[in-house]
Amino acid sequence: MTEDLTDLEEIGPIDYLVIELPTANMDGSAFEHLLDLVGRGLIRVLDLAFLSKAADGSVSGVALDEVPGGVNLTFFEGASSGLLGDDDLDEAGAAIEPGTTAALLVYENVWAAPFATALRRNGAQLVASGRIPVQALLAALDATEPAS
């Protein structure tokens, strides 16, 4: 499922994730939600790759039909826009712990495409972007609670 990126004027914001998954505990439920997001047209998967890191630190690619957890990800077979390169895979492999599997996901936020397109047509530019991890949000909220 190679994605066509020829009409970049109409594309929504692109995000990427590297997710470390404990190989032994994977049940596939998160990827069912990914399939749902795609099915509802909220996101478009541009690249999806998996790799695993053995106890000795060696890193290898994992085919979509061999991802632990039992969910069928072959729908994404061939999802390769070219945005995800070997250097990204190497960097992800270095970042994860031995005994884990990593999912590398590059996706378009289709839901935001009309807004982003209108902004671009009016000359607007994205000058900063970020994401607040849930763990940081929870820690900040805990820090603001009065001591009991």
The average pLDDT across 24-53 equals 89
Residue 115 lies in a domain: yes
Residue 91 lies in a domain: yes
Kind and range of the H or E element at 88? helix 86-95
The average pLDDT across 80-85 equals 87
Question: 121 is in which domain, residue-wise?
Answer: 8-144
pLDDT classification of 129: cutoffs 50, 70, 90? confident
End-to-end CA distance of the chain: give it in Å, rounded: 55
Residue 133 lies in a domain: yes
Q: How many domains does the chain have?
A: 1
Residue 3 lies in a domain: no
Q: How does the average pLDDT of the chain come out, rounded?
A: 87
Q: Which residues, 6 or more positions from 86, have their beta carbon under 8 angstroms from its beta carbon?
A: none
Q: What is the pLDDT of residues 52-80, one digit of tens each?
A: 999 999 999 988 888 877 777 888 887 88
Residue 2 lies in a domain: no
